Structure formats: C-alpha cells, structure tokens
Amino acid sequence: MKAVFFDLDGTLCNTVGDIRYHVNKMLSSRGYAELSEAQTKAYVGDGAEKLIERALPAGAEDPEGCFAQFLESFSNSDGALLSLYEGEREALARLKERGYKLAVITNKPQEATRRTLAKFFPEGYFDFVGGDSGMFPVKPDPSLTRYAALALRVAPKDCAFVGDGEQDVRTAKNAGMRGISALWGYRTRSELSAAGATEFAESFSELVKIL
C-alpha cells in the first residue's frame, strides 16, 4: 500500500450533528417534521441532494428551494458540532510518517469538505481532497477516486479506501482498491457486509495495524 483514501462523514469526522442541525433548520422553517439522529445517519452518504430528497416528506413543495435553503445554511456553518474520532490524529500522523499518501474522497459538497477539513487539519495535510464539485459523478462511481490516484501517481491496486458506508465499499471495488470498512461510523458491520465488505477496522488504531 502506498496511499490511503478516506471518506469524510462518519470516517474522518463525526458530522452528523452539524448536518442534522442544518437539515432540521430548513425542515422546521417549512413546517415539516425534523429528523432524528438515527434518520440523519441513515440518509447521509449519497450526496447533499439525495440527503434532502430523503429528508423531505412525499409531495413536498419546492424541493429545489428546500435544497438551496439547506445549502445556504450549511455553507455558513461554524463547525461547532463537528468532532474527530478517538485516536485519529495519532493514526494519521503514523501513516504520514511511514510515507503513505493521504487522500479524501467524499460526496459532501466541495466547499463544505474544504471547510470541515480546515477546522481540524492544516492546509496541505492531505495530498488530495475531492468533494462533490459537479465535475465527477458521486460515489460509488470511481471516476474521482481514479483521478485522485492518477494525480498522486499511485496505482489503484496500491491504494486502500477506508469508509464507513455502503457506497465506500462499492467505490473501493469499482476503483480496484483494497476496501476497509470503518466500524466507528454510521453503518453496522451487517449493513456493510451486505454491501460486500470483507475487511473491517473497529478503530483508527486497528486501521494502522491492518495497513
């Protein structure tokens, strides 16, 4: 392995509280029922548009306006509800010390991705950061992931893709990378196994041992 690719929400950062706050802010302003934490975890992973589509009740008026309202609120988040996972900083530092290139591939909007990472990591900490900018299809399409490998000058077979969701399992397979499912995130082992996952890490420290 020469590079490690990470999903963001539920893998590098616990963002469910932040996402839920801004989704519910939009829903409540329009008189719709708010999401629980469990619902929010279940709805994330396929990009912001799909998140809002799932959050809105059937027949909701002006879904495009709802999405735009969410994005405007979300883009001004102060990040107060974001947090890292136990042992994460130490694990990433060990990987960097051992010469691994580190990349982030997420379905989160590009600007929100940049802002989230900036709260916890200095600029340039990751060798490649790719969010949903509209230039590539979202995961599990492998196009952005393969482009990142090309940009880092590493073969996909020499990369590990670490993520907590079903789409990450499929992205790793589609991109020809080794998939490792993070069990500290938003999905259970059984859910990930059903998506085809065969290798799991219970924590960041275990991830380092696996790699």
Sequence spans of domains, the chain: 3-14+82-210, 16-75
Q: Which of 65, 9, 75 is nearest to 42 (CA)?
A: 9
Going by pLDDT thresholds of 50, 70 and 90, the confidence category of residue 75 is confident
Judge whether residue 154 has pLDDT over 90: yes
Is it true that 3-14+82-210 and 16-75 share their CATH fold? no
Domain 3-14+82-210, what fold? Rossmann fold (3.40.50)
Which residue in the list 7, 9, 132, 164 is annotated as catalytic? 7
Q: Would you say the pTM of this structure is higher than 0.85?
A: yes
> Can 7 be counted among the known catalytic residues?
yes
pLDDT at 211: 95
When pLDDT is averaged across residues 47-55 and rounded to a whole number, the result is: 95
Average pLDDT of the chain to the nearest whole number: 96
pLDDT at 65 > cutoff 90: yes
Round to whole Å and give the CA distance between 161 and 184.
Answer: 15
pLDDT, tens digit (0-9, with 9 covering 90-100), for 22-33? 999 999 999 999
Name the CATH architecture for the domain at 16-75.
Orthogonal Bundle (1.10)
